[in-house]
Amino acid sequence: MLANRTAVITGAAQGIGLAIARTLAENGARIVIGDLDEAKAKEAAASLPTESIGVRCNVTSADDVAALLAAATDTFGSLDVMVNNAGITRDATMRKMTEQQFDDVIEVHLKGCWIGTRLASGIMRGSGGGSIINMSSISGKVGMLGQTNYSAAKAGIVGLSKAAAKEVAHLGVRVNVIQPGLIRTAMTEAMPQKAWDSKMTEIPMGRAGEPDEIASVALFYASSMSSYMTGTVAEVTGGRHI
């Protein structure tokens, strides 16, 4: 589905980002993994079944993101898919949250996504188009206790993506959003059992999602199967908060 296309995924040395990278690679894409941890990025790239490289990238730095995208075009000759996936959490109640904790999350998620979308679309518009996939969260739809920073950032990504989609659609660049729900990763499995059980009661399908189930939606958005879709938001939640 993605033969002869190049995909860049940020924050992809592990977790959902790595699952997306692997699924896109299994469908023929050449992969560039961007991550703060350069060693892990290179290790992850080496584990993929197609031509892949790992590059250190701080998504809050436009220079870093530009270098990441240049690595894609210099190495593989094109930029066809951009997945803005990198993120952090700094959870705390609003009363206890520091300004730094708020700023850090907004900077990585929202500004990082804006930088990635802006720079990737700038390259894609000159080469006939491409697909940009921005990772939001169900927290951006409903708001979660202890996540005023994260929920604000993830809601902002939806608005950013819809506005960007209108600006670049006529250039062949599509911008879509994925909103995962409770996905089984190392981070979520570290939650206290009581918190896990509480979240499970909100999911009609009665189970957590797997990273591969997010990756398959990313594949759909990356491929020509979604060629007439832009500015859309896919909730991948097992029915949670519908």
Pairing outcome for strands 130-135 and 173-180:
parallel
In a domain, 241, yes or no: no
Catalytically annotated residue among 102, 114, 150, 221: 150
When divided into structural domains, the chain yields a total of 1
Q: What is the DSSP letter of 82?
A: E
CATH number of the domain residue 106 falls in: 3.40.50.720
Q: Identify which of 238, 241, 219, 223 has the alpha carbon closest to the alpha carbon of residue 16.
A: 219
Q: Is 150 a catalytic residue?
A: yes
In a domain, 76, yes or no: yes
Write the burial class of residue 207 (CB in 10 Å: 0-12 exposed, 13-18 middle, 19+ buried): exposed
In a domain, 1, yes or no: no
Contact 84, 135 (CB under 8 A): yes
Please give the helix or strand (H or E) that residue 179 lies within, else none.
strand 173-180
* CB neighbourhood size of 3 (10 A): 9
Residue type, 35: D
Q: To the nearest whole number, what is the mean pLDDT of the chain? A: 96
In a domain, 242, yes or no: no
Expressed as residue numbers, the domain containing 172 is: 6-236
Whole-number pLDDT of residue 150: 96
In a domain, 96, yes or no: yes
User: What global pTM score does this model have?
Assistant: 0.97
Contact 80, 6 (CB under 8 A): yes
In a domain, 63, yes or no: yes
Q: What is the pLDDT of residues 69-97, one digit of tens each?
A: 999 999 999 999 999 999 999 999 999 99
Q: What is the pLDDT of residues 138-177, one digit of tens each?
A: 999 999 999 999 999 999 999 999 999 999 999 999 999 9
| Angle between helical axes of 211-222 and 15-26 (0-180°, round to 10) | 50
Q: Whole-angstrom Cα distance, residue 233 to residue 181?
A: 13
In a domain, 103, yes or no: yes
pLDDT category at 185 given cuts 50, 70, 90 is confident
